[in-house]
A and B are shown apart, each in its own frame.
Chain A
Amino acid sequence: MNAPETVSHEQAAGLLPWLVNDSLVDKEKETVLEHAQSCVICRRDLDDLEQLRDSIMSASSLKLIPAADMRNVNARIDALIDRQNRGPLLIARLREAFESPWRIAFVAQSVLLVVLAGLLLWPRPRDAEYTTLTQSQYLPPGIYVRVVFSPELTQFELIELLGSLELTIVDGPSNRGVYTLGVAKRMSVEDRDKLIMDLQEDPKVLFAQPVNRGATQ
């Protein structure tokens, strides 16, 4: 804020709490102090606020703060890095595989076999993806997220991911592998969008999209 040379009582009074915690910029501080010298109400307020600050600070010093323990956060970062590294590792292996013509032939043959086996064994989806949408009509009002996870996601990772984002499975997986996840708390639209972004950033999440059922907020 560009503090004017003089301030009104209202302006000065509004800034007093931050004069007391010493966070006003010099110019603001000067003008507020100058006003307080000639204003009985502000001087009395200043005394009150100093007492409040001292009480709060002495109350806060009673709290014991435990030593920093980074084991949990480090483990979570390790898991995150591990997940992120598995993608490039696969690419590196493929690149390695394509270095010799024999390998190319071998890989091409393997891919063909996998595709053929897949075509034969892939279960025909009885219903299309809209099954989940239809079912979601029966869900109580709230914010839900439709998610498709990478097949690489282990059950443990799924539990960990759902736990960390406070999500629960309310429906699915559908024939196309779509899960409908419930949000375990009331959520603003911003929080929901942030959640979707978090999910989309996860390398093990192939697809994430919000589904709103009725009034939320």
Chain B
Amino acid sequence: MPNSIAGKGATEADELALLARVRRGDREAFCELYQRYQPRLYGYLRRQLSDPGTVEEVLDDVMLVVWKDARKFRGDAAVSSWIFGIAYRKAMTAMRTERRYQAPLDRSANADAVAAVSSQHDEWIPVALMHLSPDHRQVVELTYFSGFSYQEIAEIVGCPVNTVKTRMFHARRRLRVLLPALAGQAKEQDRERA
């Protein structure tokens, strides 16, 4: 999602005004903020969490924190970074809970299962991302799915900018190995079936 910096300025002013109204208990402003963020947050959370019901629950949790904590927003970060920071923390907690209730992900078995479905490169991305550590995956997701700058990601995740760059470096290195491996596996299975 490419961002125009000028467009971002206008959106930021808009969202600051909305948040100021939310701080005063304005439900209409909250509704507008919710409508604005719901698609982005849903997309972001859906890629971290496997259960759609959990995604909706966590999304509501995030927006409830926005309602409750609007007065705590100091403007040190952009409104979107602040909201995604809340979503990031909620997502990490929900991911830990999900992992506890699920059988541990058998990475090779999982790759086999998806490899059997399709050998399209684009369809490998979600599978490959699942093979990254949560920290590395978050940086890739926030960059390419959500369109955040590295400074914004540092604010969201709560780490130094250099850590964001390092995580991206490691994520890319792993993806470079994973994507051809996954695609190659699929091709081999296609050939066997033919």
Closest to B121 in A: A55
Q: Which of A17, A58, A73, A186 contacts B143 (CB 8 A)?
A: A17
Determine whether the beta carbon of A68 is less than 8 Å from that of B3.
no
Which A residues, 119 to 177, have Cβ-Cβ distances below 8 Å to chain B?
164, 166
Determine whether the beta carbon of B31 is less than 8 Å from that of A18.
no
- Contacts A17-B172, A185-B97, A186-B96 given; indicate if A72 touches B60 (C-beta within 8 A): yes
Determine whether the beta carbon of B149 is less than 8 Å from that of A57.
no
Determine whether the beta carbon of A58 is less than 8 Å from that of B122.
yes
Q: Does B68 contact A (CB under 8 A)?
A: yes
Q: Cα distance A74–B38 when bound, in Å? A: 14
Closest to B162 in A: A14
User: Is the interface on chain B under 10, 10 to 19, 20 to 34, or 35 or more residues?
Assistant: 35 or more
Q: Which of B5, B42, B61, B64 contacts A66 (CB 8 A)?
A: B42
Determine whether the beta carbon of B144 is less than 8 Å from that of A70.
no
Which A residues, 40 to 57, have Cβ-Cβ distances below 8 Å to chain B?
48-49, 52-53, 55-57
Q: Does B35 contact A (CB under 8 A)?
A: yes
Given contacts A21-B1, A56-B140, A68-B35, 8 further A-B contacts (CB under 8 A): A18-B149, A23-B150, A25-B5, A52-B175, A55-B122, A73-B34, A80-B64, A191-B93
Q: Cα distance A86–B30 when bound, in Å? A: 22
Determine whether the beta carbon of B39 is less than 8 Å from that of A60.
no
Interfacial chain B residues near A66, Cβ < 8 Å: 42, 56
Interfacial chain B residues near A76, Cβ < 8 Å: 60, 64
Q: Does A215 contact B (CB under 8 A)?
A: no
Closest to A17 in B: B168
The count of residues in chain A whose C-beta lies closer than 8 Å to any C-beta of chain B is: 41
- Contacts A14-B165, A17-B172, A57-B1 given; indicate if A65 touches B43 (C-beta within 8 A): yes
Q: Which residues of B contact A (CB under 8 A)?
A: 1-5, 25, 27, 30-31, 34-35, 38-39, 42-43, 46-47, 56, 60-61, 63-64, 67-68, 89, 93, 96-97, 100, 121-126, 140, 143-145, 147-152, 161, 165, 168-169, 172, 175-176
Interfacial chain A residues near B25, Cβ < 8 Å: 81
Q: Cα distance A1–B172 when bound, in Å? A: 23
Interfacial chain B residues near A14, Cβ < 8 Å: 165, 168-169
Q: Does A69 contact B (CB under 8 A)?
A: yes
CB distance from A9 to the nearest CB of B (A): 13
Determine whether the beta carbon of B43 is less than 8 Å from that of A77.
no
Q: Cα distance A185–B47 when bound, in Å? A: 21
CB distance from A113 to the nearest CB of B (A): 38
Q: Cα distance A80–B72 when bound, in Å? A: 17
Q: Cα distance A56–B145 when bound, in Å? A: 7
CB distance from A92 to the nearest CB of B (A): 18
